[in-house]
Chains A and B, each alone.
Chain A
Amino acid sequence: MPVVPRPARPASLAASLLASLLVLTGCAGSGGPGGSASDDTPVEGGTLVYASGDAEPTCLDPHVGGNYPQALLAGQYLETLYTKDEEGKIVPWLASGAEASEDGLTWTLTLREGIEFTDGTALDAATVKANIEHLQDPDTASSTGYLAVAKIKSMDVVDDSTLTLNLSAPDSALLESFSMPWVAIESAQALERSQADNCAAPVGTGPFTVSKWTKQDSVELTRNEDYTVPVDGADHAGPAHLEAITWKFIPEAATRYAALQSGTVDMIDNAQPDTIKAAEDAEDIDHLDAPRPGASNRIELNSSKAPFDDAKVREAFIRAVDVQDGLSSLFFDTAERSYSALSSVEPMGYSDESAFERDPEQANRLLDEAGWTDRDSQGYRTQDGKRLSLTFPVSTNQSVPAEQSLFQQFQATAKEVGFEVKLDLLDLSSWYDVLGENHYDLVSAPYTKVGPDVLSILFHSSNTVPAPSGYFANHAQVKDKKLDALLEEASATTDADERQAKYTEAQKIVLEGHYLLPLYDQQNHFLYSTDLHDVGAMTAVASPTFHDAWLAK
């Protein structure tokens, strides 16, 4: 009699699936140990365990490429020439000052003295020169830092603490650029190493140093025992209170929050709206909301090809989708709607609510006018037999689940007027590839930069051409001569009022051209254990620094 061999058992698989579900839910219910601080005297020592939901950088040197995950980490071991104070003013940090010539083409930068890198070399004018050259070197493949220092044509070392910068055009955003971690200053000696070595452990002047990087797991940061705050008058000028930081990568939002709840990590970034809401009721978890400067989170409409080469179709899309309802329910009122190309922390942001009012009827009218009059069997509009279809690549590394759900809602509301939106969830490198190949109609890309000059990066026609890293930031592919001129003038002027007027004018052109759909500020929510004290110090791009922080444990 034949015996049929036993197959793999689906039932047992199913059972283990159920079991793991139960374990997961069980975990989510338990809270961390409730520790209350005894007093305000900082405790020395201890290791902060930080869990980041951002993509793990491929290089720890923020000069290379230049994205936010790199800035988050680099803020711990690198410092910048300038920074932003609590009022949002740009103030000197490693530099002691900068002076522009009358025509704005020559800047004299002076440096503080007595600052040492963790490899023992001293900070001097030649070091700064080497750093800017490193950013401009095509081999470095910098995109963010490269654009920030693009106008520096040449540099002359006057003496150890004085550097002259010769610009190709006046740059009113220069000091703002110098405040960003992507233009942080590294040891010149360390920069001479191979790129692989420098990526693994950049050398800076910061309160921590990179001691070990276990790929796909964590970066170990150790206290710089010789650290002193470069500026005078700090309450706490010496080395950091924390002995070390373990910087983990936990991409899964629910896992990250569960780790915080259970006490295995002390702080998480990219906190999800539902967890922020839940944390409000948790006694042992605090919330830090720090919107990033630069651009707002927005959807850009690729105007370089059909169907969005027609402004009417662009406007129709913007009028068709429902942002507000989804925003309230998905983000639990933790995110406020934006009507501006710029972040709400940018003083020169210009908002226009009327440009983004939802109006499906007008959207239908506009599409009729644009010639998309027929509908196919599925209800999508067509023209000459071609469906009104939009490709929307979404980087899973740069968007939170709530945002992805919001995009799905856009897909549903856009369908009501006849747009087909094809959502494509991609990892970061595939997403870059798709953008590079111009295979997109809609895209949402965060761009963090200090100051309104981010407008030039996002909307100047020259930025439809890729930077050495292959990335270009003008995703809407706006090519408008008048806009280009305005952006150049705004960047050249030294007069604050004139600068504001020009940037406002430029933003009007962008909003009226229907190139983008602003959603909300770049969400930057942190949740941390109440055991962690004196959190809140930030770099100019709103990434936390832990020089003052301490753990009561």
Chain B
Amino acid sequence: MTPVSSTMSSLPGPFPRGPGPRRRPGPRRRPGPRRWPGPGVILPALAATTACFLVLAAVVPWWLAPTDPLAIDPGAAFSSPSLSHWFGTDESGRDLYSRVVHGARPSLLIGAAATALGLGLALVLGLASGLGGRWLDAGIGRLVEVMLALPGLLLALVFIALAGPGVSTTIVAVGLTTAPGYARIIRSQARALRGSAMIESARVLGHHPAKILFRHLLPNALGPVLVLATLGVGQAVIWASALSFLGLGEAPPAPEWGAMLAAGRTYLGSAWWMTFFPGLTIVATAAASTVLGRSLQRRAVGA
């Protein structure tokens, strides 16, 4: 069998399947009076609620916000938050709550699609690099390094400058930007698994390489990456918002969080709610995705 390359030798072994390692036996607490659940429980619960709400907003926005997010009412422009307009109204009298809710779909869609694209690309690069020959590995390795050397947003901006702004461009731009990071992890997983006893036995047993790839290698390599992807969706949403903030995403007046931030910044001094609520939503989305990702991560490694 091929020796594990020197760069990989320091990396830990493959992702385990089956029963995870036992928890370290610690001093057990006595089942005393009911305690306030620690942040380890509350935060993920809060994050899960936020995520559910966001997904609901993305799938059935009309349930949560029946007002048309594009309907203008110049007479009611710049209304501060009230019972009739929970988040206030913008400069054209559009209901901001409705716009924030309806903005979930494009934002999450861009976030999810970009992450999926990044993962897909990373899977090809990472597996080719991890399982292919030395030259291929070196070639892809350099390419990934070059991509990693450039700041992500810059890479996205360059791509948009070449391809022109728009939703699909944003997805591709953010996807491209996230791919190299994922590719590295997939490569290291593939490398490590390739030398594992499990794969070796599968080989010895004479399994077809495709079967080894899909039955054993992929599921094991993907685990940590999926956890990362959960974290990545939040990051992608921020990037997508940043790009539309710069006027490179969805065209106005489409309800898009970043674009709403951009529109509100003109009136920051007089109508704070125009930036506050879209901003808060972006923060909440990113935070929820981070907390969920971390808790998944903890669960996966069993820590």
- Listed in ascending order, the chain A residues whose CB lies under 8 Å from chain B are 1-5, 7-11, 13-15, 17-18, 21, 24-25, 28-29, 252-254, 257, 272, 274-275, 278, 322, 325-326, 328-330, 396, 401-402, 404-405, 408-409, 411-413, 422-425
Extra pairs beyond A8-B181, A21-B276 (7, CB < 8 Å): A2-B301, A3-B12, A9-B290, A13-B238, A14-B238, A28-B268, A401-B91
> Which segment, of B74-82, B119-127, B168-176, B199-207, faces chain A?
B74-82
| A-contact 0/1 string along B224-246, CB 8 Å cutoff | 10011001101100100000000
**Contact between A411 and B253 (Cβ–Cβ < 8 Å)?**
yes
Residues in A neighbouring B77, C-beta threshold 8 A: 329-330
Say which residue of B251, B253, B289 sits within 8 Å of A10 (CB atoms). Answer: B289
> Which segment, of B95-103, B128-136, B279-287, faces chain A?
B279-287
**Contact between A1 and B12 (Cβ–Cβ < 8 Å)?**
yes
Selected A-B contacts with CB under 8 Å, 11 pairs: A4-B297, A10-B231, A10-B286, A11-B287, A15-B283, A21-B276, A254-B269, A329-B75, A329-B77, A330-B77, A401-B91
Bound complex: CA A74 to CA B11 (Å): 65
B15 at the interface (CB under 8 A from A): yes
**Contact between A409 and B252 (Cβ–Cβ < 8 Å)?**
no
**Contact between A10 and B92 (Cβ–Cβ < 8 Å)?**
no
For B71, B78, B266, B297, which residue has the most chain A Cβ atoms within 10 angstroms?
B266
| A-contact 0/1 string along B187-199, CB 8 Å cutoff | 0010010000000
**Contact between B290 and A11 (Cβ–Cβ < 8 Å)?**
yes
**Contact between B287 and A14 (Cβ–Cβ < 8 Å)?**
yes
Residues in A neighbouring B265, C-beta threshold 8 A: 24, 252, 254
Bound complex: CA A329 to CA B267 (Å): 13
Bound complex: CA A98 to CA B231 (Å): 75
Bound complex: CA A2 to CA B12 (Å): 5
Residues in A neighbouring B13, C-beta threshold 8 A: 1-2
Residues in A neighbouring B263, C-beta threshold 8 A: 401, 405
Residues in B neighbouring A402, C-beta threshold 8 A: 91, 266
Residues in B neighbouring A326, C-beta threshold 8 A: 72, 74, 92
**Contact between B279 and A274 (Cβ–Cβ < 8 Å)?**
no
Bound complex: CA A29 to CA B286 (Å): 29
Residues in B neighbouring A1, C-beta threshold 8 A: 12-13, 16, 21, 301
B106 at the interface (CB under 8 A from A): no
Say which residue of A14, A404, A413 sits within 8 Å of B252 (CB atoms). Answer: A404
B275 at the interface (CB under 8 A from A): yes
Residues in B neighbouring A412, C-beta threshold 8 A: 70-72, 92, 253
Residues in B neighbouring A408, C-beta threshold 8 A: 72, 92, 252-253
**B28 CB → nearest A CB, Å:** 23
B9 at the interface (CB under 8 A from A): no
**Contact between B268 and A24 (Cβ–Cβ < 8 Å)?**
yes
B185 at the interface (CB under 8 A from A): yes
Bound complex: CA A92 to CA B262 (Å): 47
**B69 CB → nearest A CB, Å:** 11
**Contact between A425 and B247 (Cβ–Cβ < 8 Å)?**
yes
**Contact between A330 and B287 (Cβ–Cβ < 8 Å)?**
no
**A21 CB → nearest B CB, Å:** 6
Residues in A neighbouring B62, C-beta threshold 8 A: none
**Contact between B270 and A328 (Cβ–Cβ < 8 Å)?**
no
For A325, A408, A411, which residue has the most chain B Cβ atoms within 10 angstroms?
A408
Say which residue of B21, B181, B269 sits within 8 Å of A7 (CB atoms). Answer: B181
Bound complex: CA A444 to CA B13 (Å): 64
Q: With A328-B74, A329-B93, A425-B251 as given contacts, are A2 and B270 in contact (CB-CB < 8 Å)?
A: no
**B274 CB → nearest A CB, Å:** 11
Within 8 A of A (CB), among B1-36: 11-16, 21
**Contact between B252 and A254 (Cβ–Cβ < 8 Å)?**
no
Bound complex: CA A405 to CA B267 (Å): 12
Chain A residue nearest to B14 in the complex (CB)? A2
For B21, B272, B283, which residue has the most chain A Cβ atoms within 10 angstroms?
B283
Bound complex: CA A278 to CA B91 (Å): 16
**Contact between B301 and A17 (Cβ–Cβ < 8 Å)?**
no
Q: With A1-B12, A322-B74, A330-B92 as given contacts, are A11 and B286 in contact (CB-CB < 8 Å)?
A: yes
Bound complex: CA A411 to CA B287 (Å): 35
**B13 CB → nearest A CB, Å:** 7
Residues in B neighbouring A425, C-beta threshold 8 A: 247, 251-252
Residues in A neighbouring B21, C-beta threshold 8 A: 1
**B73 CB → nearest A CB, Å:** 9
**Contact between A4 and B72 (Cβ–Cβ < 8 Å)?**
no
**Contact between A25 and B272 (Cβ–Cβ < 8 Å)?**
yes
The 3 A-B residue pairs with the shortest CB-CB distance in the complex, in nearest-first order:
A325-B74, A10-B286, A10-B234
Bound complex: CA A25 to CA B181 (Å): 35
Bound complex: CA A278 to CA B266 (Å): 13
**Contact between B235 and A13 (Cβ–Cβ < 8 Å)?**
yes
Residues in B neighbouring A7, C-beta threshold 8 A: 181, 228, 231-232, 235, 293
Chain B residue nearest to A411 in the complex (CB)? B253
Residues in B neighbouring A422, C-beta threshold 8 A: 251
For B12, B227, B290, which residue has the most chain A Cβ atoms within 10 angstroms?
B290
**Contact between B282 and A17 (Cβ–Cβ < 8 Å)?**
yes
Chain B residue nearest to A24 in the complex (CB)? B268
Residues in B neighbouring A409, C-beta threshold 8 A: 72, 74, 92
Residues in A neighbouring B185, C-beta threshold 8 A: 4-5
**B178 CB → nearest A CB, Å:** 9
**A43 CB → nearest B CB, Å:** 31
Residues in B neighbouring A2, C-beta threshold 8 A: 11-15, 189, 192, 224, 301
**Contact between B268 and A25 (Cβ–Cβ < 8 Å)?**
yes
Bound complex: CA A13 to CA B129 (Å): 31
Residues in A neighbouring B181, C-beta threshold 8 A: 7-8
**Contact between B279 and A17 (Cβ–Cβ < 8 Å)?**
yes
Say which residue of B11, B72, B275 sits within 8 Å of A413 (CB atoms). Answer: B72
Bound complex: CA A133 to CA B266 (Å): 44
Chain B residue nearest to A257 in the complex (CB)? B269
Chain A residue nearest to B78 in the complex (CB)? A329
**A393 CB → nearest B CB, Å:** 12
| A-contact 0/1 string along B206-233, CB 8 Å cutoff | 0000000000000000001001100110
**A415 CB → nearest B CB, Å:** 8
Residues in B neighbouring A10, C-beta threshold 8 A: 231, 234-235, 238, 286-287, 289-290
**B262 CB → nearest A CB, Å:** 9
Chain A residue nearest to B275 in the complex (CB)? A21
**Contact between A278 and B269 (Cβ–Cβ < 8 Å)?**
yes
**Contact between A272 and B266 (Cβ–Cβ < 8 Å)?**
yes
Say which residue of A15, A24, A275, A330 sits within 8 Å of B74 (CB atoms). Answer: A330
**Contact between A13 and B279 (Cβ–Cβ < 8 Å)?**
no
